[in-house]
A and B are shown apart, each in its own frame.
Chain A
Amino acid sequence: MRDLIKMVVVLLVICTTSGVVLSYVNEATKAPREYQYIKFVQEPSIKAVLSDYDNDPVKERIKLAVGEDEEGNPIEIVVFPAKKGGATQAIAYSAAAKGYHDLIEVMVGVGPEGKLTGISIMTHTETPGLGARIVEPEFTDQFAGLDLDTTKLSAEGGKVDTLSGATFSTVGVITAVGAALEQFPQIKKETF
């Protein structure tokens, strides 16, 4: 009986200590983890969609509330401004939509007139060889210069060519980019 109690106590102590220490480490690393995520996942995409600036868009990022969801919580968007000589040239922010498998996260760069300066796929889980081709420049490069009206499939009067065999993924990207562009007028007020 004593043995049993000792066993339980020891295990309990170890587990509790472990839990406490880990929750502390978890808290302590929260900020750097967020920073690293932005730096390594978003920054390459930001660099890909913005050009010609002299500031650090990540440092100067701003959080904007763009409406509310069904439960009334504010929907926040992080906007990365590209500035030259202090004047905002273009902004980058992200949006997501469902592709063939799951969410496709897209970073878009938008100029002051609401025209895309470029897009970059940040995360996706599409099929290699099919949907995964959305990350290739041949596909993403088509978006530069488009606006809300032209960000549609060529078949629907837009200027985006479908990747053969990956209609769903193509449409997913278009939807995400479209959603981003729809928010642009609202964001523009706060940034340019």
Chain B
Amino acid sequence: MSVVKEFTKGFWQELPPFRLVLGLCPTLAVTTMAENGLGMGLATTFVLVFSNLLVSILRKLIPGKVRIASYIVVIASFVVMAELLLQAYWYPMYKALGIFVPLIVVNCIILGRAEAFASKNPIILSLADGLGIGLGFTISLTVLGGIREILGSGKLFGAEVMWSSFEPLGFMVKAPGAFVCLGFLLGLMNIISRRRPAH
């Protein structure tokens, strides 16, 4: 039961980056296309799940004082691994995400989960937490990327989806559009969650 709860909370109550307003930079930077959003989300999920796992395994062994430092090393190792793997097997995505792959290491969501959840919970729960939050993040980024891709280039996952004479709203794929779009989504989330009775 609680595994399910830990897993599903990442899809609404703690959906990053909308609920936990963290990890904004990749959210804004790579979501010019749904595909990039998906890639970024998956890379982040990879790091999140494995760092949660390892932190949970080691949680009894690591002394409090070097806690943060150890977590950073663990997270950074998986980030480097993700970098190398992307480079080796998904090169276009590696290029598209650019500097934001190494920056996964400072994504506050990951350190936040390690510190707030994995360091206090058993392995299974930590995995569920990491997977849930990671997939929530992935979905958010993919949706945001999808919206921006459709409006900003008339495509979705690279396929034309608008009518032929549609002129894309290039604003959406530029930096200002990223902020504005995320702002509007946050506002809409507020409206929706207000309609949904809190439980």
- When A and B assemble into the complex, do they touch directly, with CB atoms less than 8 Å apart? yes
Interface residues of A (CB under 8 A from B): 3, 6-7, 10-11, 14-15, 18, 21-22, 25-26, 29, 32-33, 36-37, 39-40
Distance, CA A136 to CA B163, complexed state (A)? 28
Interface of B is mostly: helix
Separation in Å of the A94 CB from the closest CB of chain B? Answer: 18
Distance, CA A181 to CA B88, complexed state (A)? 32
Residue of A nearest to B71 (CB): A14
* Pair B88/A29 contact, Cβ less than 8 Å: yes
Distance, CA A183 to CA B66, complexed state (A)? 57
Interface of A is mostly: helix
Residue of B nearest to A35 (CB): B88
* Pair A21/B77 contact, Cβ less than 8 Å: yes
* Pair B89/A36 contact, Cβ less than 8 Å: yes
What residues of chain A lie closer than 8 Å to B70, measured between beta carbons? 10-11, 14
* Pair A22/B73 contact, Cβ less than 8 Å: no
* Pair B91/A36 contact, Cβ less than 8 Å: yes
Separation in Å of the A165 CB from the closest CB of chain B? Answer: 24
Name which of A15, A18, A37 has the most chain B CB atoms within 10 A of its CB.
A18
Distance, CA A10 to CA B54, complexed state (A)? 14
What residues of chain A lie closer than 8 Å to B80, measured between beta carbons? 22, 25
What residues of chain B lie closer than 8 Å to A21, measured between beta carbons? 77, 81
Partner of A18, one of B74, B85, B89: B74
Partner of B84, one of A6, A7, A15, A33: A33
What residues of chain A lie closer than 8 Å to B194, measured between beta carbons? none
Proximity string of chain B (61-104) to chain A, C-beta cutoff 8 Å, 1 when within and 0 when not: 11101100110011011001100110111011001000000000
* Pair A32/B62 contact, Cβ less than 8 Å: no
Distance, CA A40 to CA B94, complexed state (A)? 11
* Pair A39/B91 contact, Cβ less than 8 Å: yes
Partner of B87, one of A11, A18, A22, A33: A33
Distance, CA A15 to CA B76, complexed state (A)? 10
Given contact pairs A14-B58, A15-B73, A40-B95, enumerate 8 new A-B contacts (beta carbons under 8 Å): A3-B63, A11-B66, A11-B73, A18-B76, A25-B81, A29-B88, A36-B88, A36-B91
Distance, CA A177 to CA B87, complexed state (A)? 29
Separation in Å of the B39 CB from the closest CB of chain A? Answer: 14
